[in-house]
Structure 1
């Protein structure tokens, strides 16, 4: 079994990694949250073991980012934050299990083995394509007709949501929820402004239009017929 351990406490990471090795498993260890996220995105693991309090990027953000990228590798939070609200928050962020420090390694190993026995998820898409437009979710790169397109982080997320909904009309409310995490209308033109900027980058320099406005409804991204 291949395990990715993201843990910044050296004594804990050495103890856990040694235990996994003695159990016959391969364990890669990262102490920084951003480095751990990058590794989880670029390589294939059977289980992730993630601390919540990490430098660079906290554990909740790591798991949320992986789930947003449709990476379903089972994740176990191993943390000293053990309140009921904290455990619920971890599971709702996309975690599959939650173990509070201090812990017995035998229990950690049993939980990791149980997660690894779950039926494998379908292979996750890491590159979205609509016509000649491509969005690489791992490299965080956009290209159209082989030409690199520079996108700001929010533009990238907006394009990802539109591409995942290819052919469907996405309303302003839906985009506010999925891109800005707003559950209300802030009464601003933030959606219209970002759509306009995105259109200028992915459509205007090219012959065929992909991003369309559906009057009084929303927006739709689809390949030209």
Structure 2
């Protein structure tokens, strides 16, 4: 892509976006979520029109202000990015944001990692040992209550203000993210 993309890449990385830079037909593309954005080294309106007609979601380049380039990529990544949906909970995998019932849920990195692991196993009980291995990268129990403290904080952020809790503790087994509606 060249060094002219480096400031944009740094700005996006600082915001937590994971980007893939690919070449298609000899031209560099940025993949952000499900969006394909052509990186055009020189402002060429005819080439930009061809790229958009050919399926690119947008065209950006060093001829744009860096803030505009970042804003365009972020907008497309958020709109088209992959996400996990469990009930009314949405976990956006590109920008690592979380919403429940349309409300933004601010999470710390470890809380996000816990939620993501539980979401990938939604409806299943995940043991404390599994969480230590997956989130803390520990193959032993350090004998602290760190998992319980983080789960309590996460439960407060995810379930507070909602009629039905999603994070459940299953006694002597572990934790479960439960998106199923209960009637009865």
Q: If the length of structure 1 is used for normalisation, what is the TM-score?
A: 0.49
How far apart are 1:204 and its partner, in Å? 2.4
- Aligned positions of 1:130-209 closer than 5 A: 130-209=86-165
1:92-145 CA distances to partner (integer Å, 9 max, x unpaired)?
xxxxxxxxxxxxxxxxxxxxxxxxxxxxxxxxx721111001111212211110
Does residue 18 of structure 2 align to residue 41 of structure 1?
yes
Does residue 3 of structure 2 align to residue 30 of structure 1?
no
Q: Which has the higher contact order (CA 8 A, sep 6+)?
A: 2
Tell me which residue corresponds to 2:59: none
- Indicate conservation of the 8 Å contact 1:30/1:36, yes or no: no
Instruction: Name the SS of the counterpart of 2:162 in structure 1.
Output: coil
Tell me which residue corresponds to 1:126: 82
Q: 1:195 to 1:34 in 2, by over 3 A?
A: farther
Cα distance in 1 between the residues matched to 2:88 and 2:118: 15
Instruction: Name the SS of the counterpart of 1:207 in structure 2.
Output: coil
Q: If the length of structure 2 is used for normalisation, what is the TM-score?
A: 0.59
Cα distance in 2 between the residues matched to 1:186 and 1:34: 36
How far apart are 1:45 and its partner, in Å? 3.0
CA RMSD, 1 decimal: 3.0
Question: What stretches of structure 1 of length at least 5 have no aligned partner?
Answer: 6-12, 15-27, 48-70, 72-124
- Count residues with an aligned counterpart: 126
How far apart are 1:150 and its partner, in Å? 1.0
Question: What stretches of structure 2 of length at least 5 have no aligned partner?
Answer: 25-33, 35-80
